[in-house]
A and B are shown apart, each in its own frame.
Chain A
């Protein structure tokens, strides 16, 4: 008999959260803390979604998506999680750029960028100031007509080097391009510029463990290996979910699954207004990623001046489409020094990330896929040589992941690393108007993605769910329709 991962589960909950990414976990935590009965269902054997890690023999622990997030994470973790989690958030001090246009190291905040732009790039201080002010003044409900490319052209006409400095990290952070609405760039960029880039001391594994403990202390029923197949409706409102052959009743569902999977797989278009379905079909997904994970042999050390984050490129010019090409010229390196995990074994690791198209990997035969993966590893090691000489001899372990890997583990349509393009936000927010009790929380609209975006979006949606449940209770409808 296979193990029953739903053993002891109740017949009914106030809220069922589908998916334990950062948005799903945060919604579950807030609603559990508010006193609702909450069931959190995750299809994988680990919590965290893309906020994940894996271990390899020899004491190596690789972080997949812990490259950096804005300072706002401290406040959000303190309020929506716990003071202990917030206290482990520490700044990254050395953000490095190395490309044919410029090489520099920065603390990646407004003061240092103002200094660089005026002294090294010779931009008028007044233009720098008005650019920063314009970016900081942006709100997600603002006019979307202006694109990021136009924003740069307005403040720094013809300056491809300036655009590269301002844009390259954000392309890596959320997959946005020069053609996306300027607000998707401005909001994320300003979040980082307010105080720089931060990381979580102890690694992703420690964060997720602490979150799991917090969920349990707030009485959230957490279940892994539970792949939700269907959300069932009754008279146009959420009634139950089908999971591992069981039907569990609920008054509200928060889906943290990919937006398109939520609409087309969990709900099914037959249950929805055709106009909404068309709108959902138009939502474009963001790109995916490839990564190469490298662990140095025990005792091999790297000077910390090498940087915490290094945006490297050999391309003469800066084009966002080139960043996605199979013919990789740009890589972002994250260095994990022993201090990343003060309680762990002394290890230095390096993760190289590139943005990638799912279609470039999805159609390969198994042999071609393996060969492409090997090629990705070899070309990456060649590129790393510049920063860590004799890298091949110093390595204890190396392996690669591709868009197919991301798809496999998170069930994200097309392995999307950063959710959907901007239009996804309206569809995600519009879902409860279609089906009463049905919500989506997860990376959408570029701004609501990344660790901080996902956590904050989880809060926004939990607030909607709380309002709905409380309104239903005061109007006398305290139980789910049965």
Chain B
């Protein structure tokens, strides 16, 4: 998957997790928590969903990499580059 496909995928996951949030004006390099009402369980759900959909394993010590859209995509790109978009 390319970086932009990964970004789309994260957006799709976020839509399921936070159905009441407007994600159209998300700023990529600002932390999610400063724009959306996300708590630590929401981040765990992102991790679980990525594992379910793509079998990507994110160890607990790397959860901080998921702070913003930009950092998430940067972290996932090398891990998911060989995967096909579903």
Contact = CB atoms under 8 A, between A and B. Distances in A.
A463 B41 contact: no
A212 interface: no
B83 to A, nearest CB: 14
A447 to B, nearest CB: 11
B20 to A, nearest CB: 10
Contact of B40 (A75, A79, A139, A471): A139
A467 B51 contact: yes
Contacts of B40: 139
B44 interface: yes
B11 interface: no
Nearest to A467: B57
Interface in B39-63: 39-41, 44-45, 47-48, 51-52, 55, 57
B47 A463 contact: yes
Contacts, number: 23
Interface in A403-439: none
A470 B45 contact: no
Nearest to A468: B57
A463 B48 CA distance: 7
Contacts of A139: 40
Nearest to A30: B48
A474 B56 CA distance: 11
A301 B47 CA distance: 50
A244 to B, nearest CB: 33
A337 to B, nearest CB: 31
A472 to B, nearest CB: 12
B47 A470 contact: no
Contact of A79 (B39, B45, B52, B55): B45
A471 B57 CA distance: 8
Most chain A beta-carbon neighbours within 10 Å: one of B41, B51, B55: B41
A463 B40 CA distance: 13
Contact of B52 (A34, A72, A459, A474): A34
Nearest to B41: A456
Contact of B41 (A34, A76, A471): A76
A460 interface: yes
Given A34-B52, A470-B51, A463 B44 contact: yes
Contact of A466 (B39, B41, B48): B48
A316 to B, nearest CB: 39
B41 A459 contact: yes
A463 B41 CA distance: 11
Interface in A446-465: 456, 459-460, 463
B45 to A, nearest CB: 7
A466 B45 contact: no
Contact of B55 (A34, A75, A456, A470): A470
Nearest to A456: B41
Contacts of A470: 51, 55, 57
Contacts of B39: 72
Contacts of A466: 48, 51
Contacts of B55: 470, 474
B18 to A, nearest CB: 10
Contacts of A34: 52
Nearest to B42: A75
Interface of A: 34, 72, 75-76, 79, 139, 456, 459-460, 463, 466-467, 470-471, 474
Interface of B: 39-41, 44-45, 47-48, 51-52, 55, 57
16 contacts: A72-B41, A75-B41, A79-B45, A139-B40, A456-B41, A459-B44, A460-B44, A463-B44, A463-B48, A466-B48, A467-B51, A467-B57, A470-B51, A470-B55, A470-B57, A474-B55
Given A34-B52, A76-B41, A463-B44, 11 more contacts: A72-B39, A79-B45, A456-B41, A459-B41, A459-B44, A463-B47, A463-B48, A467-B51, A470-B57, A471-B57, A474-B55
